[in-house]
Amino acid sequence: MLTKLTEQIDPMLVVKGLKKYFPVKGALGQSTGEVKAVNNVSFQLYEGETFGLVGESGCGKSTLGRTILRLTEPTNGEAIYQNKNIFHLSGMELRNIRQEMQMVFQDPYSSLNPRKRIGSMLEEPLTIHQIGLRQERTERVMEILHKVGLQPDHYYRYPHEFSGGQRQRIGLARALVVNPKLVICDEPVSALDVSIQSQIINLFQQLQDELKLTYLFVAHDLSVVRHISDRIGVMYLGQMVEQAPTDSLFSSPLHPYTQALLSAVPIPNPNVKKERIILKGEIPSPLNPPRGCIFHTRCPFVMDICRKEIPLEKEMSRNHFVSCHLH
C-alpha cells in the first residue's frame, strides 16, 4: 500500500454533495415519494490510497460507488475526476474515464456470463475500449490471469468450473485488464468463506502496490476494512457521519454510530474486555429519514437540538471529520 500523501497532492477524485434518490411509485404509477439512498455525501480520494466505506446494509455505500461510475445516474452533486465532472461527460470522454475507473462486484458468479469462456469475457473490455489487436488482447488476458493467480488454461474454461475465490480473481482480472487507475470494490469478499477472504484481500493489496492502484473499498465487515484501508468513511442512512485515517477512527471514534459499530468488532485477546453498545430500534426507512440528525432515533446521547438541526461536518483532528452536535 502506498503512503498517503493527502497534504502534498491534489485529490484524484472529489465527490461533493452527491445525492441519489430513487422515485417510489404507487399502484397507479403516481409518485409517492423518494428513497434517499445517498444524501449529500462529500469526500476525497487520493492517488494510491484505499478509502474504505462502511455501514449497515442498506446505508447507501454500494449505491454511492455505482453512482460515481454512473452505473446509475446521480440526482445531484459532483464527482470531479482529474478536473472533469464525471456527471457532465458523455460519448468518448465518458468511455475514456470508464477505462480508468473500474468496478469489482460483490457476487462474482452473477456478474459473469455462464455461457462465455473466461478468455473471451476478459477480452470484451479490451474490445469495447479498442485496446490492441486480437493477438495482443489475448496476450494481455494471459498476463492478467497470471497476475491474479490463475493458470493459462483457465482462459478456455467456463465460470461454473471455478470456486468462489477463483471467480473473484476473475472479477478482479476483468476490472484490471484495461489497466485502470481507480477500482471501486463493492463488497468483494463478503460472499467468500473466511479462509478465502484473506487470500483475496492480500491479492488486492499486492496488486495495488504493483499496479499503483487507488481503491474505494465498500464493505460491512469492519475487520476487513481496517486491514486494507488508509482512511475510512462511515455511512448511516445515506449520509457520511464520520471519516478519518484508519488508526484515528479505531483509536478515537467520535460519532456515536461509529462507536457502536466498533464495539461489535471482536478482539482476538480474551484478557481484553470490551462493552458492546447495543443500538435500540430499527434503522429508519430511507423513504422517510428522521429530521435533524438522521441518527437521533437510535442515539444513546440524543439531545433536543439533534431532533431539529442537521449537524455540520467538523474537522476534530487532522483529517478526522465528524457530523455530530456533541462535537
User: Residues 249, 319: contact at Cβ < 8 Å?
Assistant: no
324 lines the binding site for ligand SF4 (CB under 6 A): yes
- In angstroms, the first-to-last Cα distance of the chain is 32
Helix axes 118-128, 164-176, angle to 10 degrees: 20
- Give the nearest distance from C-beta 303 to ligand SF4 in angstroms: 6
Q: How far apart are CA 114 and CA 299, in angstroms?
A: 46
C-beta of 33 vs 290, nearer to ligand SF4: 290
Nearest distance in Å: CB 310, ligand SF4: 9
Select from 5-13, 141-149, 171-179, 293-301 the region that touches ligand SF4 (CB under 6 A). 293-301
Distance CA 9, CA 168 (A): 32
Q: What is the DSSP letter of 128?
A: H
Answer yes or no: are the C-beta atoms of 228 and 202 closer than 8 Å.
Answer: no
Q: How far is the CB of 39 from ligand SF4 (least distance, A)?
A: 15
- Residue 45's DSSP bridge partners are 13
Site for ligand SF4 in 248-287 (CB under 6 A): 255-256
Contact code string over 296-315 relative to ligand SF4, x by CB under 6 A: x--x-xxx--x----x----
Q: What whole-number distance in Å separates Cα of residue 326 and Cα of residue 319?
A: 18
Under the criterion CB under 6 A, does residue 156 sit at the interface with ligand SF4?
no
CB 315: neighbour CB atoms within 10 A? 11
Q: Which of 41/144 has CB closer to ligand SF4? A: 41
Helix (H, G, I), strand (E, B) or coil at 223: helix
Assess 126 for contact with ligand SF4 (CB under 6 A): no
Q: Which CB, 208 or 258, lies closer to ligand SF4?
A: 258
Restricting to residues 16-75, name those near ligand SF4 by CB under 6 A.
none
The yes or no reply on residue 235 touching ligand SF4 (CB under 6 A) is no
| Binding site residues, ligand SF4, CB under 6 A | 255-256, 293, 295-296, 299, 301-303, 306, 311, 324-326
